[in-house]
Chain A
Amino acid sequence: MIPSDQMKASLFNLIIYTHEQQRTDYFMEIVHSIIEKFPCRVIFIQTDHDSEISITKETIGQEQSYVSCDLITISSSTEDLNYIPFVVLEHLVPDLPVYLIWGQNPTKENPLLPHLLKFANRIVFDSECTPNLRQFSELMLSQIQSSQIDILDVDWALISRWRHVLAQIFDTSEKIDLLNSSSNLTITYNDRLNPYNRHNDTRAIYLQGWLAAQLEWKFESIKNQDGDLHLTYVTSKGKTNVILHPANCEKLRPGSILEVKAEGSKCGTIDITRYEDQPKVTIHISNHDTCDLPYNLPLFDPQRGLTFVKEMFFYRPSDHYHRMLKSISEVNWESA
């Protein structure tokens, strides 16, 4: 229930499109995390049934906040998709940026997308919707080169805290060397079955792709071994075997990164494990020379955090994202 003394505010227009019913709750969760920090006009487009175009308007917001936002839900059949842009236009708040979250496989043609792109300032794709990650990353790269607007993706934003934590831990050339000299780098992710995610490994793939790109590792091979994906990279210190390992964790969201572990004769063991019940990681580094006391770093659930919102809507897409896409586009994921 929204208190009557709330005032409406909008910092931007947020258009979300999904044609998959099971993703609606997931996107609504994202909407609530956004409006908690940045009130906006939300226009939610769904095309999951055969009815005629319908529009519902409601006010949403946090109970304890004195700011609320408009949520306009437009439902339509897939046949009526061409009409949607006309409906959207009349609901946009003028002079404010328009951000578009595209919850459909972008490699698949959709008549709505070109229309919406005309007035969007930024488009955020949902890599979860794509069955072919290589194709997706190639498309992203070509879009980034040809498009006038900023292009991002939800899963990239969702690993922002992990990227930040790894940058904090490996903050000297010596520590980067340790990472380069690891023979095994294991990334464990939450593969819990759920109704809305089918590709729980995407964030783990992104994280390893980002590390490989930033550390200039050269991809050599990929194979599937007992359910684990094994990628071999040539690094400045030799070869590193990256293992993406699925695990089941009830307390955390599917797709979450649970652990990053680097091992090798020179680097010893560098273990970064996420707590299940607290938003932080514990770091334990031990090798021939040292055995540091474990220490913790905060790792907020990015979906509820400011970092996620900033990442999606405020920061310029960084070179890191481009490089990560290039790195994962070199791998034929379907072959494994």
Chain B
Amino acid sequence: MSTEFLNPLEESVRQYKTPEPCIFVIFGATGDLTARKLLPALYNLAREGQLPAHFACVAFARRDKSHDQFRDEMYEAVKTFSRTKPIDEALWENFREQIFYHRSEFDNDEGYDELRVFLEDLDKRFDTKGNRVHYLSTPPSYFPLITEKLYNHKLIYDVNHEKEKWSHIIIEKPFGHDLKTAVELNNQISQYLDESQIYRIDHYLGKETVQNLLVFRFSNPIFESVWNNRHIDHVQITVSEKIGIGTRGKFFEEAGILRDIVQNHMMQLLSLVCMEPPTSLNADAIRDEKVKVMESLRPFPKKDYHEYIIRGQYAPGFVDGEKVIGYRQEENVSPESGVETFVAMELFLDNWRWSGVPFYLRAGKRLPKRATEIAITFKDAPGFLFNEGQKKLERNVLVIRIQPDEGISLKMNCKVPGLSNLIQPVKMDFRYGSFFGATPPEAYERLICDCMAGDSTLFSLADEVLASWRQFTPILDIWEQQPPSDFPNYLAGTWGPEKADELLERKGRRWRLL
């Protein structure tokens, strides 16, 4: 960060990071994300005293609106979407005075000039010291344009020359559509920005339980000592959604679930589960280890790829006892669509720790339950002691639940009381919500706060993003060339196509029944 000043009144042990004075500029501020996530996140940060004392927020969008109109809309949004209710009216009265609206087209030079003058004026009023967070809440196609305009109009600073103030840019996924477009996007924005200024947001990383993965792994040596191919049989990562596509048909027709969920969120989970212990908790150390995981992913074989990755699409079925339509009947979806709403795969990491351990990933829409979890299945106990006369012993399974009902459980075997030696699997269960009554902050709160403090640990590095695209782009290309002949191939409300089960069954394994 810019400042060398060490505040004698700041207690380092109290707050691990302090957001610096800044102006938070949201591009595309009339979109859903601002109302549902960003403003409620800023409000809650203000409510908890986590926003810098010197702060302002400027909404940049194309629609004509006054400051007050925008503030009133955001009041309704915060009232509806904030995790803390009811809204603190007194706090809001103060907070709303820090919110402003600036109307401009994204390609209008004058609009950016006016924005710069406006922000400089706000710097004087709010003592925000010229620091900027630019949040690009726009379609990705605008990222290069907005970045270029910001640079040309001196709204982002050259890190090599400007030491007194800083500018960060947060960009939302998708970071490209495939490897080629991701590289292009990266090259375009890198002309104007240093990598240290780019904050690629993946809200999964802001979730409390995802952050707990690092704590769980590296502060509990009991687990870390068995966290390898000598003890682990396989790992299953599931991101299952009960809902269908809803109003996102147009977007989903272009993306599909591999791009929407797997390439980003699931790869982040995979890298946190598999990374080596970092040398420190700083952003570079952690991200270096995550990149190594991505780089050790074994590419899918081009010829027999279908042995390792399965795609599916939901047909009409039943969810929660109610009849639901199939993907092809959804709004803005082609009746012949070949877009996948389910994907399951077997992955391998070619590194010392994980050699030979299969990682089974599945993600799907219209599955029976909403659940995100990581399940580590350990190897069998030597079978000669307790297997006689009864069914095979169950394996130990450690489950890290990301959502809902965040927590960690461990399945182990236990003697059934009585004279016989019968064995029954039992579960030890830790539930976050039960133990910690405090409502955890929303992912966006944590990530915005980190960006204002210049901490990029929980953001994706270009290398990570590109490595992930490198893994999946060949498959996306093949799928495009070979449209599916069996779609739709699973009923809404079931756990995906049969082929997904076969992926594990051929090796004597099964998907966990969630």
Contact = CB atoms under 8 A, between A and B. Distances in A.
Given A176-B7, A214-B8, 11 more contacts: A37-B436, A66-B434, A164-B49, A167-B11, A169-B53, A172-B5, A176-B8, A176-B9, A280-B90, A298-B49, A315-B14
B91 interface: yes
Interface string B184-219: 000000000000000000000000000000000000
Contacts of B436: 11, 37-38
A9 interface: yes
B21 A171 contact: yes
A91 interface: no
B437 A318 contact: no
A211 B7 CA distance: 12
Interface stretch (A183-191, A222-230, A288-296): A288-296
Interface of A: 7, 9, 11, 35-39, 62, 65-67, 160-161, 163-173, 176, 211, 214-216, 275, 278, 280, 283, 292-293, 295-300, 306, 311, 315-316, 318, 320
B8 A315 contact: no
B486 interface: no
30 contacts: A11-B435, A11-B436, A35-B437, A38-B437, A38-B438, A39-B434, A161-B49, A164-B14, A164-B15, A167-B10, A168-B49, A169-B53, A171-B54, A172-B3, A172-B5, A215-B8, A215-B9, A216-B8, A278-B90, A280-B91, A292-B127, A293-B125, A295-B94, A297-B53, A298-B46, A298-B48, A299-B49, A318-B12, A318-B13, A320-B11
Contacts of B53: 168-169, 171, 283, 295, 297
Nearest to B55: A295
B9 to A, nearest CB: 4
Contacts of B125: 293
A298 B437 contact: no
B13 A9 contact: no
B8 to A, nearest CB: 4
B437 A65 contact: yes
A299 B53 CA distance: 12
B431 to A, nearest CB: 9
Contacts of A295: 53, 94, 126
Nearest to A299: B49
Nearest to A294: B94
Contacts of A166: 9
A173 B127 CA distance: 14
| A-B pairs, 3 with minimum CB distance | A167-B9, A168-B53, A298-B49
Contacts of A38: 436-438
B438 A306 contact: yes
B127 A318 contact: no
A293 to B, nearest CB: 7
Given A168-B53, A278-B90, A280-B90, A214 B9 contact: yes
B14 A170 contact: no
A163 B5 contact: no
Contacts of A39: 434-435, 437
B437 A37 contact: yes
A170 B434 contact: no
A9 B435 contact: yes
